[in-house]
Chains A and B, each alone.
Chain A
Amino acid sequence: MTDKMIEVNGLRKRFGGHLALDGMTFGVHSGRITGFVGPNGAGKSTTMRVILGLDRAESGTALVGGVPYRSLKRPLTHVGSLLDAGALQPSRTARDHLLWLAHSQGLGRNRVEEVLEQAGLSAVARRRAGGFSLGMRQRLGIAAALLGDPWALLLDEPFNGMDPEGIVWMRGFLRSLAGQGRAVLVSSHLMGELQGTADHVVIVGRGRVIADSSVAGLLARASSGLVSLRTSSPEAAAVLTGAGASVREAEDGTLTVTGLTAEQIVSALSARGIPFAEVSAHRATLEQAYMDLTRDAVEFRAAEVSR
């Protein structure tokens, strides 16, 4: 299970005159959760559909475990997917929905009961799916994705419509799936949903990858150096500048420092005996990092539209 991955390479696709995918390239590795993030219309869903063989790309390849999805004999035992939780026949029960999927993969009734249990749906298995809330449909979609015990999972906006409890459940669930060595690709247009969940993020905009990095790396880059402190000493700024930082002074005596870490600042000031208080490093959130990265794409799009 460890060496299999999903590889997307140079996908291009056009819908009418609109370029939906513009050289989309990234990989989804097993054993970790890869967040697939971008504004609406960035090409996330289209990419997933191309991976699953539902849409055809004009050029580029999408391979799962080294082969095209369409060549898989029992695809759900390789890749489980949840594209649209609402894609259900409303009058069919949850159990029957899973049952026909199981039959399509040569799986039995037992497997259906197992995934119903895993998704916490056993109690409502006999109810018609049409009466399900969006959160319950998401759970049913997850159950369907897990049916074939696949090594890879593709989930499009699985947090949509979930209540806070559901989101906590989903996060824990995805973590445990990745912990079992599965490759998990989770798309979202909200970076916040993925914070504390994803190990790796692929940020996309306008059909191409803007950033492809570990979460830790992304945070480190985005938090590159803002530290603020309060001091009553007029010398502080000069000292810190002397230590190689650039300093901005606010009227209330707050200094905003870049170029030195919080630890370096504390030791520099302490050595001179300068009093200070409230040293705080700005830990960037994923959300900010994402906003910084996608601002260009979004702004460009807005400009393009207004033209």
Chain B
Amino acid sequence: MRAEWTKLRTVPAWALALPAAAVIIVLFGLFPGMQGSCGKPGSATECKPTTGPDGVEVRDSFAFAYRTLDGDGSITVRVAALTGELTDGPGLVPWAKAGLMVKDTTEPGSSYAAVMVTGARGVRMQHDFVHDKAGRKTPLAWLRLTRAGGTIMGEESADGTQWTVVNRVQLPDLGRSVVAGLFVTSPQHAEEDSNTFGVKGARGGPSQATAEFADLAVTGAWQGTQWTKQHIGGPGNGPGQGDPAGGQPGSQELTLTGSGDIAPAVTGAAGVGTSITTTLIGTFAGLIVVVVVGVLFASGEYRRGLIRTTLAAQPRRGRVLAAKAAVAGAAGFVAGLVAGAIVVYAGREVLQSNGVFIPAVPVATELRLIAGTGAMLGLTAVLGLALGMLLRRSATAITAAVVAVILPYLLAMTVLPTAAADWALRVTPAAAFAIQQSAVEYAQVANVYTPVDGYMPLSPWAGLAVLVAWTAVALSGAYYRLVRADA
């Protein structure tokens, strides 16, 4: 092992290439050429995002008609109609929401529970932004929300007599007095554009929804008789601003128009800012470097017959391969680790000073990104080494490794249709790029979840496991050839 380390470090080109790989990643990460509007005059609210009860960054913007409820009580309503408008005419986005909500305060980001009908996702019960449970798949329904202490129960009914519980949730942060009432909101409309070969993009725009509520009824200690209409979370993003309108105070019917979203903040086409993963954009270039070093570390043995000297010095061939793999892997890992650490922290500073919003991620995620980048570089170096030992020719092995690891990623990020990109990032070693994803995908948030936007088809560890599997296969092949053949 020490001998192999000496071998690696005493070839000047290789000894320089590994720090160079780290430097390349850092350079890509620190100069992403991205500009944002945060921190500039007229900064949008998105730059200081609302945080929800769990510290998750959230969007909390909707039209609300509420009264204060002291202690326990319930509210029942029938959603009679839900219509919407997009930038280019009438239309309802799938995640337009209208229904009942119990919320700690009118402050955006405060704890809440809501039962609702949606544009195309049926009846849902959601609470505290990230939790979502589906009810019946029906466009319109009777809804009831009942508060008993910290427990909120959401029910739905087709006829107002037969009720089904959608979910019971606990809101520990809830005070004795809460606000409760009707809400409507409609998130950014987004769809993927040009889903063929070619430049990728997404199009969309603001949307708004209007709900007609009827048969409004409450039980419990409600203050006043007037429903206060307010657009929570500042102006929405709908055309003509969601001005809570319609209906007479105290009546059983009410019409409300709203725009916005009540959901965890996401990055990408329909979200705001960019994920911290953006700072790791140079990883592919670093991978090319380590893959070349890995291959040459192996094929260099064969170019001039050095392998005979090596095997004469260590006749146990498995050990030779293991030592080479350990050295190449460790060297790649350290390069990736250092680059990842610099770029995740320094890169964020750079992006933020450029005014780009980056959602905060847990420390565990940051560590995963950094260690994951190390693991990617380390494993890729080993994969290169294994291919070098297996194929023995530098050019062939480098080509094979680049085609296997980096090409699928680059294609998926540029020209491949999403379906093909997803498959490329599932089955090829490039799946390991998943370890770098930091954006969380929420089923209940409308967005374009494509690899380009940082949403990989595999979970982080599953993606890394794919690379591990490929590396293991290549190493087995290399071992088989090394042990079986004459040197």
Q: Which residues of A contact B (CB under 8 A)?
A: 49, 52-56, 69-72, 75-76, 81, 83-84, 86-93, 96-97, 99-101, 103-105, 144
**A104-B3 contact given A53-B315, A75-B313, CB 8 Å threshold:** yes
Query: Within B1-58, which residues are at the interface with A (CB < 8 Å)?
Result: 2-7, 10-13
Is B305 part of the contact surface with A, judged by Cβ < 8 Å?
Answer: yes
Identity of the chain A residue whose Cβ is nearest the Cβ of B484 in the assembled complex: A56
What is the bound-complex CA distance between A70 and B6, given in angstroms? 23
B11 and A103 contacting across the interface, CB-CB below 8 Å: no
A101 and B10 contacting across the interface, CB-CB below 8 Å: no
User: Which of under 10, 10 to 19, 20 to 34, or 35 or more describes the interface residues of B?
Assistant: 20 to 34
- B476-487, CB under 8 A of A: which get 1 and which 0? 000000000011
Which of B305, B310, B315 has a CB less than 8 Å from the CB of A86? B305
A93 and B10 contacting across the interface, CB-CB below 8 Å: yes
List chain A residues, Cβ under 8 A from B13: 91
**A100-B312 contact given A56-B486, A86-B305, A89-B306, CB 8 Å threshold:** no
Known: A87-B308, A89-B304, A101-B309. 16 other contacts (CB 8 A): A70-B316, A71-B315, A75-B312, A76-B312, A83-B308, A83-B312, A87-B305, A87-B306, A89-B306, A91-B11, A91-B12, A91-B13, A92-B11, A100-B6, A101-B313, A105-B313
| 9 shortest interchain CB distances as A-B pairs | A104-B3, A96-B10, A100-B6, A87-B305, A55-B486, A70-B315, A103-B3, A54-B487, A104-B313
**A72-B315 contact given A49-B487, A89-B304, CB 8 Å threshold:** yes
Identity of the chain B residue whose Cβ is nearest the Cβ of A91 in the assembled complex: B11
List chain A residues, Cβ under 8 A from B304: 84, 86-90
What is the bound-complex CA distance between A88 and B305, given in angstroms? 8
Tell me the total A-B contact number using a CB cutoff of 8 A. Answer: 82
- B124-140, CB under 8 A of A: which get 1 and which 0? 00000000000000000
A89 and B6 contacting across the interface, CB-CB below 8 Å: no
Which of B10, B11, B308 has a CB less than 8 Å from the CB of A99? B10
List chain B residues, Cβ under 8 A from A103: 2-3, 5-6
Is B314 part of the contact surface with A, judged by Cβ < 8 Å?
Answer: yes
Is B71 part of the contact surface with A, judged by Cβ < 8 Å?
Answer: no
Which of B3, B12, B300 gathers most chain A CB within 10 Å? B3
Identity of the chain B residue whose Cβ is nearest the Cβ of A81 in the assembled complex: B312
Which of B4, B309, B314, B487 gathers most chain A CB within 10 Å? B309
B486 and A49 contacting across the interface, CB-CB below 8 Å: yes
What distance in Å separates the Cβ of A305 from its nearest Cβ neighbour in chain B?
25
CB pairs A–B below 8 angstroms (11 shown):
A49-B487, A52-B308, A52-B312, A70-B315, A76-B312, A86-B305, A92-B10, A99-B10, A101-B313, A103-B6, A105-B313
Which of B4, B6, B12 gathers most chain A CB within 10 Å? B6
Identity of the chain A residue whose Cβ is nearest the Cβ of B301 in the assembled complex: A89
What is the bound-complex CA distance between A54 and B12, given in angstroms? 29
Is B120 part of the contact surface with A, judged by Cβ < 8 Å?
Answer: no
Is B311 part of the contact surface with A, judged by Cβ < 8 Å?
Answer: yes
List chain B residues, Cβ under 8 A from A91: 11-13
What is the bound-complex CA distance between A104 and B304, given in angstroms? 19
B315 and A69 contacting across the interface, CB-CB below 8 Å: yes
Q: Which residues of B contact A (CB under 8 A)?
A: 2-7, 10-13, 300, 304-306, 308-316, 486-487
What distance in Å separates the Cβ of A206 from its nearest Cβ neighbour in chain B?
20
What is the bound-complex CA distance between A56 and B305, given in angstroms? 17
What is the bound-complex CA distance between A130 and B422, given in angstroms? 47
What distance in Å separates the Cβ of B154 from its nearest Cβ neighbour in chain A?
69
What is the bound-complex CA distance between A96 and B9, given in angstroms? 9
What distance in Å separates the Cβ of B481 from its nearest Cβ neighbour in chain A?
14
Main secondary structure of the interface of B (DSSP, over half): helix
What is the bound-complex CA distance between A86 and B5, given in angstroms? 22
List chain A residues, Cβ under 8 A from B487: 49, 54-55
List chain A residues, Cβ under 8 A from B7: 89, 92, 100
What is the bound-complex CA distance between A103 and B327, given in angstroms? 14
What distance in Å separates the Cβ of B221 from its nearest Cβ neighbour in chain A?
82
Identity of the chain A residue whose Cβ is nearest the Cβ of B14 in the assembled complex: A91
List chain B residues, Cβ under 8 A from A55: 486-487
What is the bound-complex CA distance between A120 and B338, given in angstroms? 43
What is the bound-complex CA distance between A52 and B317, given in angstroms? 13
What is the bound-complex CA distance between A87 and B309, given in angstroms? 7
What distance in Å separates the Cβ of B486 from its nearest Cβ neighbour in chain A?
4
What distance in Å separates the Cβ of A130 from its nearest Cβ neighbour in chain B?
10
List chain B residues, Cβ under 8 A from A101: 3, 309, 313
List chain A residues, Cβ under 8 A from B10: 92-93, 96-97, 99-100
What is the bound-complex CA distance between A56 and B306, given in angstroms? 18
Which of B300, B308, B314 has a CB less than 8 Å from the CB of A104? B314
A144 and B309 contacting across the interface, CB-CB below 8 Å: yes
Identity of the chain B residue whose Cβ is nearest the Cβ of A53 in the assembled complex: B315
What is the bound-complex CA distance between A88 and B237, given in angstroms? 68
A76 and B306 contacting across the interface, CB-CB below 8 Å: no
What is the bound-complex CA distance between A86 and B307, given in angstroms? 12
Identity of the chain B residue whose Cβ is nearest the Cβ of A148 in the assembled complex: B313
Which of B3, B306, B486 has a CB less than 8 Å from the CB of A54? B486
What is the bound-complex CA distance between A87 and B313, given in angstroms? 13
List chain B residues, Cβ under 8 A from A93: 10
Which of B4, B313, B314 gathers most chain A CB within 10 Å? B313
**A54-B11 contact given A89-B306, A96-B6, CB 8 Å threshold:** no
B312 and A54 contacting across the interface, CB-CB below 8 Å: yes
What is the bound-complex CA distance between A76 and B312, given in angstroms? 8
Identity of the chain A residue whose Cβ is nearest the Cβ of B13 in the assembled complex: A91
Which of A53, A71, A99, A100 gathers most chain B CB within 10 Å? A100
B315 and A84 contacting across the interface, CB-CB below 8 Å: no
List chain B residues, Cβ under 8 A from A81: 312
Which of B3, B12, B311, B316 has a CB less than 8 Å from the CB of A100? B3
What is the bound-complex CA distance between A144 and B10, given in angstroms? 16
What distance in Å separates the Cβ of A140 from its nearest Cβ neighbour in chain B?
11
What is the bound-complex CA distance between A90 and B487, given in angstroms? 20
List chain B residues, Cβ under 8 A from A89: 7, 11, 300, 304, 306
Which of A53, A76, A86, A89 gathers most chain B CB within 10 Å? A89
List chain A residues, Cβ under 8 A from B315: 53, 69-72, 75
What is the bound-complex CA distance between A55 and B317, given in angstroms? 12
Identity of the chain B residue whose Cβ is nearest the Cβ of A55 in the assembled complex: B486
What is the bound-complex CA distance between A88 and B311, given in angstroms? 14
What is the bound-complex CA distance between A79 and B65, given in angstroms? 91
List chain B residues, Cβ under 8 A from A69: 315
What is the bound-complex CA distance between A212 and B309, given in angstroms? 29
Identity of the chain A residue whose Cβ is nearest the Cβ of B314 in the assembled complex: A104
B313 and A76 contacting across the interface, CB-CB below 8 Å: yes
What is the bound-complex CA distance between A100 and B301, given in angstroms? 13
Which of B11, B12, B305, B311 has a CB less than 8 Å from the CB of A53? B311
List chain B residues, Cβ under 8 A from A83: 305, 308-309, 312
What distance in Å separates the Cβ of B319 from its nearest Cβ neighbour in chain A?
10
B308 and A49 contacting across the interface, CB-CB below 8 Å: yes
Identity of the chain B residue whose Cβ is nearest the Cβ of A74 in the assembled complex: B313
List chain A residues, Cβ under 8 A from B11: 89, 91-92
B308 and A84 contacting across the interface, CB-CB below 8 Å: yes
